[in-house]
Amino acid sequence: MFGIGLPEMILILALALIVVGPDKLPDLARSLAKGLMELKKTAEGLKQSLSEEGNPLDDIKPDLEEAARSFKRDLLDAPSNMRVDDAVTGVNRPAENAAKTYEELMQKTANQTTDTSVPPASEDKPNSLDTVPETNPPATPPEKLNE
């Protein structure tokens, strides 16, 4: 019943005999049996009351099943023309417009730079960007700092 075998039962009875004594051992066994019977009756009553009440979810189960069927029906009856591709092309349009505007601006700036470009340097006059200025050492050495 409780996973107690014969050797464990004998050990428990021997300890009870030593602790309680031979005079009070029958009274202890009787009260222990009454307690176990009360516990068994209580467990049976609890089990019976739970089975009589039934499952509390049984009351709302039909409503949940109807809601699930309605949801499934709505999903299956959705129009087939609602596609993700339409939404994606709607998002791509502003990006395409921005790309066209960028291309137009780049074309305009390219035309302007060709009009206002720097004339090429002649051979007798070097380009100012190609020349490196000369650096001469200072005439006087730098002053030492006093430490």
Rounded distance between C-alpha atoms, residue 60 and residue 66, angstroms: 10
Enter the DSSP assignment of 123: S
Rounded distance between C-alpha atoms, residue 119 and residue 114, angstroms: 11
Rounded distance between C-alpha atoms, residue 45 and residue 99, angstroms: 79
Enter the DSSP assignment of 140: S
Whole-prediction pTM: 0.33
Q: Is the pLDDT of residue 56 over 80?
A: no
Two structure tokens written together for 75: 């999903």
Q: Is the pLDDT of residue 146 over 60?
A: yes
Q: Quick: pLDDT tens for 98-111.
A: 778 888 888 888 77
How far is the first Cα of the chain from the last one, in angstroms, to the nearest whole number?
Answer: 98
Burial 93-120 (b: 16+ CB within 10 A, else e): eeeeeeeeeeeeeeeeeeeeeeeeeeee
Rounded distance between C-alpha atoms, residue 107 and residue 128, angstroms: 29
Exposed/middle/buried for residue 16 (C-beta within 10 Å: 0-12, 13-18, 19+): middle
Which sequence spans correspond to the domains of the chain? Answer: 12-76
Nearest-Å Rg of the Cα atoms of the chain is 50
Q: Quick: pLDDT tens for 65-83.
A: 999 999 888 888 776 556 6
